[in-house]
A and B are shown apart, each in its own frame.
Chain A
Amino acid sequence: MATVDVDLPHVKEDDPHHHGPAKGLGRWLYTTNHKDIGSMYLIFSLCMFMIGGIMALVIRAELFQPGLQLVEPNFFNQMTTMHGLIMVFGAVMPAFVGLANWMIPMQVGAPDMALPRMNNWSFWILPFAFLILLSSLFMPGGAPNFGWTFYAPLSTTYAPESVTFFIFGVHIMGASSIMGSINIIATILNMRAPGMTLMKMPLFVWTWLITAFLLIAVMPVLAGVVTMMLMDIHFGTSFFNAAGGGDPVLFQHVFWFFGHPEVYIMILPAFGIISEIIPTFARKRLFGYSSMVYAVASIALLSFVVWAHHMFTVGMPVVGEVFFMFATMLIAVPTGVKVFNWVATMFRGSMTFETPMLFALAFVVLFTLGGFSGLMLAIAPADFQYHDTYFVVAHFHYVLVPGAIFSIMAATYYWLPKWTGHQLNETMGKVHFWLSFVGVNITFFPMHFVGLAGMPRRIPDYALQFADFNSMASVGAFIFGFSQLVFIYNVIQNVRAGEKATAQVWEGAQGLEWTIPSPAPYHTFSTPPKVD
């Protein structure tokens, strides 16, 4: 399909940078190479995943039994808040950006991202932002404790001092995402190899193109809402303060206008990854490529008009409730189409079950379970019983953990041989998979039950009838948490050693990235390949 370019520099002969990467710390600080930057995003994300994971374990340790054993309620609230913020903004989003950086240029036949220096900036402000956020744990008054959704006035009038640092951190993360998205769109629209029309792009590239537009649309709105908070807290305005003529519910509308597309931002790249992996291991082309593209586009568009389903109990007029209920139910249709298409890809294929495929298959089943609880939540009258209970916690953890996170692990296992040149240790990969699969279900499935039985969210202690399932969930959490040490081991081992991987790596793999050697050379596609 393509002509392969190995390591021919596309720069002037006397350019000192044209023979591979620089040495030392400077390499990483100043790199504009998409592979380096991709790696940094992924390593950063893994570190954040561990930190957020430790916070989750603090939460689950406290919730193991009724009673307050380990932490004070205020610190517990800091843990739930920081766990959410770190996982959403520090683990999931940077991981997807890291995968985008590594893979998009190679998948479209481009030598690098469109704006390599901005790319470097987009990454390096992230550790800075999270240092600020994490340091708030040690400030007087403690870290933010108002939930990752930071509703006013709890997060304005009643917030600890660290709220200002939280706002600063959010602005920086937002800037990183926006710059990253501009880069991704410019790369995809302007730098595809000749012959690669939009409808020939891999689905991972499509999902990222759409996700990047979502990010540009809504991250600034998040910046707006935290700026309004900042003004209410420090400059005497009353956006969200009833005393001054403002409205706490306005906060929720503006926040969720960002927040709902945000959750699709966290899942669309996952859809793209799964759409790459299943065809490879089923040895059969993705079923219904065009409808898969249209489905992602319609999900993205619809995501703008469903936000108030997070607010069904706020006292909206019934007409508003009905509108948001209908729109939310509607989003199930294109999402369902995607699931059906994945299954149709498997049907009458020729499947093998290497580690990436295991994670992808688990994604299809478990994300769909999360989708079912989502559909139940969409039914507004029933939502009055589910809202702010563990039923919601179960729902979003199913779509985020065996959803987004499993897709990231699948992608890592899938593309690791291409990055490092070493074949996967299948046995250890499967160990990680099965431990994670079992752990994730023991942790989150019981949460459906306690939520239905009446347990609210964000509480450090609970009534006795919720004890048994909470114990189960805590045990599962520790299993899942410690299993991730296997993941870290697997990644580090693969970087260091392993059987040599071929360019093709996986028998059924299609796409430009599989036409170049493994490990991928530092510079690839300096001359664009021809795509037919």
Chain B
Amino acid sequence: MSTENKMLHTVNKSPFERNALDSCLRLAKKGSSILLIEDAVYAALANTAVAEKISSRMDDFSFFVLGPDVETRGLSETPLIEGVSVVDYGDFVDMAAAHSAVNSWL
């Protein structure tokens, strides 16, 4: 899938703490990629009260989660929402290069 004309969105705060993920989901154009980093990785976990924020939008966006942030927080064995891909910093760089621009939702 060509991502040249698509924006890469990043979210870095927990969906339990901030509305950044909600705002991103509302204001990202369909077809964009969304990468969860830092505390936002909690949004990628399968069995939480907020999992449906992401699971209900799998048709609209491609979701990614930054592996090092998952591992740091002790979540490596915790099931993630199906369809969310784990990437590393090298992939993050590749994604930033392959997309048209990066929009960080803080």
Q: Do A and B come from one complex?
A: no
